[in-house]
Structure 1
Amino acid sequence: MTIDSDHPAPKDAATTDRPVRRLGLATPGDAELIRVLPVEAPVSVEVCGIGYAVMMATPADLEDYALGFALAEGLVDTPAQLNRVDAHSIEGGWALRLWLAPERAALALERARRRVGESSCGLCGIENIEEVLRPLPPVTARLEVGRAAIAAALAALTAHQPLGRATGAVHAAAFCAPTGDILCVREDVGRHNALDKLIGALAWAGTDPATGFILLSARCSYELVEKTVRAGCSLLVTISAPTSLAADRAAAAGLTLVSLARTDSALLVSGALD
């Protein structure tokens, strides 16, 4: 796989400075400040020269996002099937162009023609509810993770969120060792995008998601369960609560789901944990 280096996202593309006024509410006194905001920009995803989606995302780690998006959509099964990624700054946003191996290109073009959705959840182009609720592949990985490991990962997460600390307005997706050590983190204004970036980064590195667990700073919607299961990870920990469909889908697939996770308590929604 090759990545276009002529127009890479600059290091500061993820944030921007904006003048704001801090208002005194409980006590009088205003102040003029410069606030760091996360960049939220339209990213046009093209696959083999065909427009596929326009996603709202933070233009950082776009090569990770490209692979994670392609894996989530079922456009590729392995990194080797993504031949090239071109990321270009364009008027009003970014263009992310994915070039697939010939054996995957025909599938991508057919999906693009049938596409009816706009979220990278692996369900785009689906035309009825039965297909949306089709069974997920069962989770076969088994991982020994203790409660202390989850607490350790939660306690360490903030230190791995530079965008989050600077802006207070982005989601984080972290891959953690069974000991709770955080091995990789990706951030984005979109919780789905953050997880796509993380899965893409793991795939580029050749790291099997089955060897650790995923920790998310976001509300646990069903799309995040779907992405985690399809990635082959057996344990998902989320700081916020799950939706009913997320809980049902996790249980049906055999995914261990821990939500409302804090350093001192958590909810075991599905599966088992020592």
Structure 2
Amino acid sequence: MTMLPAPVTRVAATAFRHGGIAAISRALPEEAAVALSYDQVGYAVMMATPSDLEDFAVGFSLSEGIVERPADILDCEIVMVEQGIECRMRLAHDVSARLAQRRRHLAGALGCGLCGLESLAEANRAIPRVGSSLSIAAPALMRAMREMSARQTLNRQAHGIHAAAFLDPTDQSVLVREDVGRHNALDKVVGGLARAQRSGGSGAILLTSRVSIELIQKAALLGAPILIAVSVPTAHALRAAEAAGITLAAVARDDGFEVFTHPSRIRFGVETHVA
């Protein structure tokens, strides 16, 4: 794999604090134009943090429905090019032929996971229903959220970097990925799970961001029955989670969280008060 730029860059700055000035050094998150191509044809360009890009390429391909399983990608090469980074993927013949029939080109910008879509139908594509009977104790979800925060190594250096994670309740392990884009961070988790041959239906997705519709779409395609986030969901995302059978929890803080859909998957172990 080509040597990639560091995900964090340190720069000089002048700080004005408490009425005085001082020369400081500040760590900033790096972002790069990352092109995803299939069989030598460009498909998308996303602004992303240049780390875990194999996970990103596989996760994006699965989340976008380009491939159905990691084995559909025969190889993935990460290459530095003049204006950024290219993830060059080679697809199985039948998958490549199918992609040629539905090819579209999108250009995603930071903070917008649906930029460049050519039709409203694609933006509102059908979301598969998640029928898992998995349940997770509320304290386990809170511990996992704290562990995700503690393992944000890039964010501790530079701030402003999102994280997504996957909690496996069988062993309490938490897989964490970071990126300047919240959608990219989740794609990296999807790819990390797929490359490790782990099922997304066996645990919960954790996010440091607000929850918008495309994050529900990605979670549903992964088969994750529970999604919990630091910030609020949009009303559209809430309706999508309800329809998809996903347990959506949000506004996660040190003292707890709020559950908006399908609460039966979360074991509270306390008396429930209804306002």
Partner of 1:16: 9
Deviates more, 1:85-94 or 1:160-169: 85-94
More strand, by proportion: 2
For 1:30, the aligned partner's letter is I
Once residues 197 and 8 of structure 1 are traced to their aligned partners in structure 2, the CA distance between those partners, rounded to angstroms, is 19
Decide whether the 8 Å contact of 2:114 with 2:123 is kept in 1: no
The DSSP-based 3-state class of the residue aligned with 1:30 is strand
Aligned residues: 263
Partner of 1:154: 145
Structure 1 unaligned regions, length at least 5: none
Match 2:37 to one of 42, 46, 54: 46
Superposition deviation, residue 218 in structure 1 = 0.8
CA RMSD of aligned residues (A): 2.1
Deviates more, 1:68-77 or 1:178-187: 178-187
* Distance verdict in 2 for CA 1:265–1:166, change over 3 Å: same
Match 2:172 to one of 181, 184, 191: 181
> Where do residues 1-274 of structure 1 align in structure 2 (5 Å cutoff)?
5=1, 7-9=2-4, 13-24=6-17, 27-112=18-103, 114-115=104-105, 118=108, 127-129=119-121, 131-178=122-169, 181-272=172-263, 273-274=266-267
Decide whether the 8 Å contact of 1:174 with 1:182 is kept in 2: no
Superposition deviation, residue 132 in structure 1 = 3.5
Identity %: 38
- The normalised TM-score by structure 2 is 0.89
Decide whether the 8 Å contact of 1:115 with 1:125 is kept in 2: yes
Superposition deviation, residue 108 in structure 1 = 2.0
* Distance verdict in 2 for CA 1:195–1:116, change over 3 Å: closer
Superposition deviation, residue 105 in structure 1 = 0.4
Decide whether the 8 Å contact of 1:149 with 1:179 is kept in 2: no
* Distance verdict in 2 for CA 1:138–1:221, change over 3 Å: same
Superposition deviation, residue 179 in structure 1 = 6.6
For 1:66, the aligned partner's letter is A
Superposition deviation, residue 90 in structure 1 = 1.6
For 2:87, the aligned partner's letter is L
Superposition deviation, residue 134 in structure 1 = 4.0
Deviates more, 1:120-129 or 1:140-149: 120-129
- The normalised TM-score by structure 1 is 0.89
Once residues 149 and 67 of structure 1 are traced to their aligned partners in structure 2, the CA distance between those partners, rounded to angstroms, is 28
For 2:120, the aligned partner's letter is N
* Distance verdict in 2 for CA 1:48–1:251, change over 3 Å: same
Superposition deviation, residue 92 in structure 1 = 2.8
